[in-house]
Amino acid sequence: MQFSHLEGLIAAPFTPMSKDGALNLALIPAYYQLLKSNRVIGAFICGSTGEGVSLTHSEKMAVAEAWAACSTNDPDFKVITLVGGTSIAECQSLAAHAEAIGLFGIALTSPFYFKPGSTDILAETCLAVAQSAPGTAFYYYHIPVLTGVSLPMLELLEAVDGRIPNFAGIKYTHEDFMDYLSCLNFNAGKYDMLWGRDECWLPALALGARGAVGSTYNYAAPLYHAITAAFNSGDFEKARELQQKSIDMIRLLGKYGGIATGKAFMKLIGLDCGTFRLPIKNMTHDRFIQFKEEVEALGFYRYSSAMGALHPQ
């Protein structure tokens, strides 16, 4: 089974919440239109940015169904849902559900409480979940900073090659460029290697990355389109300048509390996704005012995503 490699930006959407912390699924059609109008080619839902680990089983299914309702008749927009997790049975259930509602792909992180002790065991885990959705693209989500599992991904590809027919590739959220390049080149570039560090998009392009998944593509997709265009045209000075703008923007995430700051960015562009659930700390009103001033000082609105208007190539 062969899946086309994805080329372009795939956003990792925030899960919209209402003021009482319940899901706000009514916002997802507008969210889908925002991504489409800013030339984002897909959505990686229920991941880190989407608070997948903070959602119940039924909530993950409801989020997946809401995105499927928007995208089922849009073959140019790929939705991949993260299915877990620590419970393999739950992962299998979510995988089967994703296939039943017609999503393009599923993704699996390593179990992070009882951790696999080898790439062979990790491959067995991938197989156990992938076979629950045999007609759906399966991605392994490599994010050792959160899972604590830092096994080499080249070894994983060697272990799954020929064993998991629907293994499409890896979402690679790590800074090991040596391992990443080796994965890109494995078996004549067979597997789709989606880059997962927005602040390092330019060096990933230099290695050969063509597809990326990231949270900042929700609200600053035009900036990354510009980085890619500058790189492709050979204007490396411009590409470096634009990547620095990305880094300056991402530094505000750390300064103002981490992952929840992303929803503050979304509020600034006109799509209020609410707040994060505990144990994530949310921004106070006073901090939001200060944050907004710093964002404006960066010239954010010159490269931010816009509601309802296509940005030029």
Cα–Cα distance between 277 and 36 in angstroms, integer? Answer: 27
- 140 labelled catalytic: no
Type of residue at 64 = A
Task: Name the nearest CA neighbour of 33 among 225, 220, 261, 305.
Answer: 305
H helix runs in 132-280, sequence order: 144-147, 153-160, 177-185, 201-207, 217-232, 236-255, 261-268
Concatenating the DSSP letter of every residue in 91-139 gives HHHHHHHHHHTT-SEEEEEPPSSS--SSHHHHHHHHHHHHTTSTTSEEE
Type of residue at 28 = I
| CA-CA-CA-CA torsion sign (25, 31, 36, 37) | positive
| CA-CA-CA-CA torsion sign (109, 112, 113, 118) | positive
DSSP code of residue 284: P
- 171 labelled catalytic: yes
Pairing assessment for the beta strands 8-11 and 78-82 based on DSSP bridges: unpaired
* The one catalytic residue among 60, 78, 171, 245: 171
The b-or-e profile of 198-227 (16+ CB within 10 A means b, else e) is: bbbbbebbeeebbbbbbbbbbbbbbbbbbb
* The one catalytic residue among 139, 141, 172, 217: 141
| Residues with catalytic roles | 141, 171
